[in-house]
Every structure is written in structure tokens, then in C-alpha cells.
Amino acid sequence: MGNVKATAQESPDNQPLIGSSCHRVIIGLGKTGLSCARYLYSQGLPFKMMDTREGPPGAAQCRQLFPDVPLHTGGFNEQWLMAADELVVSPGIALSEPAIAWAMDNGAIAIGDIELFCRAVNATSAFSPDKKPLVAITGSNGKSTVATLVGEMVRCSGLNPGVGGNIGTPALDLLDDDSIDVYILELSSFQLETTHSLRATAATVLNLSPDHMDRYPTMVEYHQAKQRIYKGCGTAVFNRDDPLTSPLLPVTAGAVTFTSGTPDLGQMGLLADDDGIWLSKGLEKQINTRQMKLRGRHNYLNALAALALGEAIGLESSAMFQALMAFPGLQHRCQWLGERDGVAWFNDSKATNVGACVAAIEGLGEGLEGKVILIAGGDGKGADFSDLQPAVERYVRHLILLGRDGPAIEQAVKNSAVIHKVASLDDAVSLAAELAKPGDAVLLAPACASFDMFNSFEHRGDRFAELVNGLILC
């Protein structure tokens, strides 16, 4: 299969492939639940469907597509749970839910859509030419960027990537496309909880910080869920700067680390010289970050992880570098929009809190010849903006404020930059174009929600991109 290698994978353990005699109940009629139903129905495997909501949005579609499948809404059907062998649980539903926990205590196995996907993939002989590499990606931050970037690397290699899971296409829907050469799955901790048969060719935990603490009693449980991605993987790719990403279980073939510091021999890291910051393997400089549209140290780490994952499945370096230089980033996430007269424009409308704004400022500012022109403001939801001050003082020349909490940001960072107040995003873009000099970057990173002026952060970011494109293309 082209220039990609597949790693032999073990058959699923402890999770028998139960056939038509299995009593299955799909719990949750969201996007994932519907994908599970479509898959089981196509395989001729019986199941029932359940949702605790009285009128879940997927109910009408279920009745139309699966008229002979029993459907229960408005609560848990205890008789169904009592008889179930497998519970196909949607990621948004906690296994600690009393009704589900009770069924599991009485012998039911909790699985999810990723488990069904892995069983189907593992059913292919490890030595078959049809065996397709599987890249699995998780982490608290950056997993969508890395999954998309690995997909672009595969595409630049002349192959067809299937990117899905927690991003875009449900994993099971990827099985319908025979033209896919490489599976690339972004996986959440919720999905990993119910996955038992994952045997990835290459897997990574990018980073780990407290998240979903409303679901996990402590950080330990969250950590354990993420670690499941490494079970049986061929190559584990992990972050040397974050000990929690290091595999707790032995890996089949080996491990590759990435770091923001100097890499060890054969590992991935960053090297700096008079020409800038380089993505490097050992002491071998591979690509200068100035050649990339992605900006910021966090994105350089994402790029290193993507390179390591791509190498683990046999992609050529030249194709991966080509993808890296072309990739603008995900929409609304420090997304490169373009450049005119030496000024680069970035859309980080998704930076709806102070921490995300600081990360964007520092990530861009660190590598600039000039300074950041920052556009911020909106609905701060009662946030304390004082943490913006150090980053603004160090990297920002002009701060353009708008929205309900523009005045609050001004008070928090006064005297750290030249402050301008505008009435609209249109005015902000026009003013930024006047103020920016060659070597500067204009950054929309509001540190606020959008609802005082826009329908969503996407709406805000789309309007910003539209205005910037008008400037650059005129």
C-alpha cells in the first residue's frame, strides 16, 4: 500500500466478538449513537436503542431508518439493562450513571463506537495487504490540530486519509470508504473509557492538564482513561515535557518523544539559531518554523508530534514537510489567514478565555520580528483579566478593544500597550491595518465569549476572516 507500513496487531483480548445472540443496547441517540446503529444494522446484528430524553433529536431519524428496532425514550429501561450483554454507550454519558453502573455490576460490558470500529479493523488479518495503519491521538489540547495535520501529511504522500472519531466523521462511518489508506482517530477520554481492542500502529497522548473534572473524581481517573490509548500500540509518541503522557504500559515496537527543548538522539525537539527555531530530529534540523504558517510553541510541539506519528507509519519526510508548510491551522484556532505588506493576520476567535488569549499572544509574539496588534474584548463572563498584563506588556504594541468588557480589559492591562477603543469588528480590522508595520502580526484573540456582538465564536471568526480577506485581496 504505497509507502506506508502497517504494524501487525493482536486480536482483541477479553472482549469476545459476540454475534447475533448478543443482547445489545445503544444508549444515547446523538451523532455517535446513530453511527453505531447504522453500523450494527448494516451488519445484521440485533440491538435496541435508548435515550433518557423524552424527545431526543435523533428519535425521528431512528424510527425512519430502523423501523423494526425497539426504541425507548424518557429514561432508562431497567428490563433492557438487566438483559443486556453489551451496552453501547455514547461518550457524553458517564459510566458512573447508576443505571449503567448497576448493569455493569450484573455482567454487562460497556463499549462504545471506537470499540466497534477497532473490532472491525482487527478482524482483518495482520498480514493482509488490506490492513490499514491506524493512528490514535488524544490529549487535553491540540488533538484536533494534530489529527488534521497528520491527515494532510498522508494526503501529501499521495494516499487517502480517513480522519474521524472525536473530530468530524464518526469512526464507524469511515469503514464505508474502501479508498481510505490510513485511519487517523482523534479520541477523547470518554471514548477511550469504553475501548478495549484498540491496537494502534502509532498512538500519542500530547499533553495532560485538568479537564472534565465534573466527570472524573480526581486527575488520576482522567490520566488512566487517556493512558488506554497506548495499549498494544506499535509506536508510542509522547511529550518529554509532560511526564503524565509517558506510557505506563510497555509498547510493542518502541517510543518516540518530542520536546520544546533540545531533543535526544533520534527524538524530536526544537533547536534555535540565528535563522530562527527549527523542528529537529536529534541534532538534524528538519524544517525552519518560519517556513510554516502555524505559529506558537504549542503548535511547534503539535507539529513535532505529527512528524513522529507520520514517520511511525512510514511517510516520507518530504511529503510531511510539504504538508507542514501549507497547513494554516484549524479554523478559528490561531488560524493563519494571510499576509500583506509584511503583516500576517491570525484568527483565534476560539480564544474565549484569558488563558487561551495569553497562549496565543506568547505563541505568536515569541517568533515575530515585530510586535502583535491584538484585537480583544466581548463578553468576559466575569473573568479576571489581570493575567493578560505580562503577555501584553512583552509582545503587544497596540491593543484594540471592543465589546461589553473592553473597558475591563483596559483597566487590567493599562500602560502595557497603546490602547484603542472601537465600536465594531469592522472598525477594529480597519484600524489594525493602519497601525501594523512590516514584521507585525494582527491577532484576533478576544479572551471573551462572543455573545454580546455575535451568535458564536465561529460567527465572530468568520466575520473577521471575511474582513481580512477583503483587505488582503483588494
Question: Pairing relation of β-strands 48-51 and 24-27?
Answer: parallel
Cell of 172: 464507524
Report d(CA 396, CA 442) in Å as an integer: 10
141 is catalytic: no
Q: Which residue among 48, 132, 143, 350 is the active-site one?
A: 143
Report d(CA 265, CA 284) in Å as an integer: 9
212 is catalytic: yes
Report d(CA 72, CA 53) in Å as an integer: 9
Given a contact cutoff of 8 angstroms between Cβ atoms, the answer to whether 377 and 349 are in contact is no
Q: Which residue among 23, 31, 72, 212 is the active-site one?
A: 212
Report d(CA 296, CA 317) in Å as an integer: 22
The residue among 275, 242, 276 whose CA lies nearest residue 258 is: 242
The residue among 455, 450, 444, 445 whose CA lies nearest residue 379 is: 450
Size of the chain, expressed as the number of residues it contains: 474
415 is catalytic: no
The residue among 262, 303, 310, 297 whose CA lies nearest residue 282 is: 262
The residue among 109, 102, 34, 26 whose CA lies nearest residue 64 is: 34
Concatenating the DSSP letter of every residue in 376-402 gives: E-SB-TT--GGGGHHHHHHHEEEEEE-
SS3 225: helix
Query: DSSP code of 355?
Result: H
Q: Which residue among 122, 166, 299, 347 is the active-site one?
A: 166
Catalytic positions: 143, 166, 212
